[in-house]
Chain A
């Protein structure tokens, strides 16, 4: 059994602070969203009926409340989760998905902005440490060979077959992993920050280009929400990969740094 030291203390610490922050900003964000569960495109938008996307509730012909999710002209019954919760209460996202659980916009905002600051500071430290140590270039930047179509297709095929690297290959991130992480770090995270700031009337006065970047404040709010959905998707895939690749080994490597290299299978 060959074990290696995979993640540095800084990476591990920053990872868990990051995990906590992301968990809190996502759930407090849903609390804030619940105050006006409608999304618009453009500079303004205040009329739910004109929204591009909404979570709402209405009476069914039988007379009970039905939760509805509407995207454009398409409508879906979402009773039990969205619009009308498991306990029959009328709210866009259910209590188990929001911080705090009860409907409390002021508290949701306090949680959101405190942990958003922590997330920004934590991310800044991550970027500084990673740049200083060459982590980004050494571990995350795909090599030219890795970016060749044949390599990428092969890696994609391995993922579909749930074949995980073993032996020497398990010491490094694989190409799809590298591209995903870089996408989150350099596209998704900055977009979340910028679209969040574009919703701030204070920041808009100092940096009006934030509004132009997203074609208006309500578009920025919609982009912010779409990015949140992408983050949830990323976390879901990330956790599934951890579970499939050997949860205890992966979890330990992110806590103590020690990672046991999966033995090479005989083929």
Chain B
């Protein structure tokens, strides 16, 4: 048998591989450490502040033309809410559905789909960017959220608008929810959409009503919206991070 001694090059290579392995293990341990996770999370505040400072509050997301529409608008998350109540509403073409607006407002409201269709509408062809990486372009028609909030009149304490939805991603889990700040809530392109590509919003895309908040990623665009609640703090709602995915580690500010 040949006697083996390590050359300097072999030692370097082995050392590098061993160091690499250690470093990777360390990254995984750090990911699971709550205090390190807090350090990583600090970047979100920096991103939020930087983007709010650099991008005007009313700067518009790009709008596209009919030629740019995606052949099919992809659906992610829930395809159809799995609840008795939702099925009953859907069967009646949402004629009995009402959007509830409450919380820190002077005038709590219940709006039917017919009432919302009578309000001034906005149509916009925009790009939907999923956090996974894909983008689809769709044409949305709906009521600007600002119009609804103006009718309900925000309390001076109002800071966030929360959207409570009809769907649960896993059976038995709390329903989906999302929240945005007032800058995005009052943005002209933030609409409660009831139409996609000129037709009633399909169930897979959030019927009867979904949020469009065009300067953020897809998971902020709550589907199957049942109730809009205006609040001062988010910590009392479900996991306290302001949204279903936020409670599972994703950024509350999804502008990037």
Contacts and interface: CB of A to CB of B under 8 A. Distances in A.
A86 interface: no
Interface string B112-151: 0000000000000001011111111100000000000000
14 contacts: A35-B133, A36-B132, A44-B137, A46-B136, A47-B71, A99-B27, A201-B127, A201-B216, A201-B217, A202-B55, A205-B55, A205-B62, A221-B133, A243-B12
A201 B253 CA distance: 11
A205 B250 contact: no
Interface stretch (A106-114, A132-140, A228-236): A106-114
Contacts of A111: 27, 31, 40
B48 to A, nearest CB: 9
A219 to B, nearest CB: 11
Contacts of B256: 113, 199-203
B255 A109 contact: no
A44 B135 contact: yes
Given A44-B70, A114-B42, A100 B27 contact: yes
A254 interface: no
Contacts of A24: 27
Given A44-B70, A106-B245, 15 more contacts: A43-B137, A44-B127, A44-B134, A46-B136, A96-B24, A104-B31, A105-B131, A111-B31, A200-B255, A202-B216, A205-B55, A205-B60, A207-B55, A217-B135, A218-B135
B255 A201 contact: yes
A253 B74 CA distance: 54
A9 to B, nearest CB: 24
| Ranked 6 nearest A-B pairs via Cβ | A202-B255, A206-B55, A106-B249, A36-B133, A46-B134, A200-B256
Contacts, number: 140
A146 interface: no
B59 A206 contact: yes
A247 interface: yes
Interface string A100-133: 1110111101110110110000000000000000
A202 B215 contact: yes
Given A106-B249, A111-B40, A199-B129, A38 B61 contact: no
Interface of B: 9, 12, 23-24, 27-28, 31, 37, 39-44, 46-47, 51, 54-56, 59-62, 64, 68, 70-72, 74, 127, 129-137, 214-217, 245, 248-251, 255-256
Contact of B134 (A38, A204, A211): A38
Nearest to B25: A101
Contact of A110 (B56, B136, B249): B249
B12 A105 contact: no
Contacts of A45: 134-135
A32 interface: yes
Contacts of A114: 39-40, 42-43
A208 interface: yes
Nearest to A96: B24
A31 to B, nearest CB: 10
| Number of chain A interface residues as a range | 35 or more
Nearest to B48: A202
Contacts of A36: 130, 132-134
A232 to B, nearest CB: 14
Interface string A234-265: 00000000010001000000000000000000
A36 B218 CA distance: 14
Given A36-B132, A201-B216, A206-B51, A211 B62 contact: yes
Contacts of A200: 51, 255-256
Contacts of B137: 43-44
A100 B28 contact: yes
| B61, B132, B134, most chain A CB atoms within 10 A | B134
A42 to B, nearest CB: 9
Nearest to A36: B133
A43 B68 contact: yes
B61 A109 contact: no
A124 to B, nearest CB: 13
Nearest to B56: A206
Contacts of A164: none
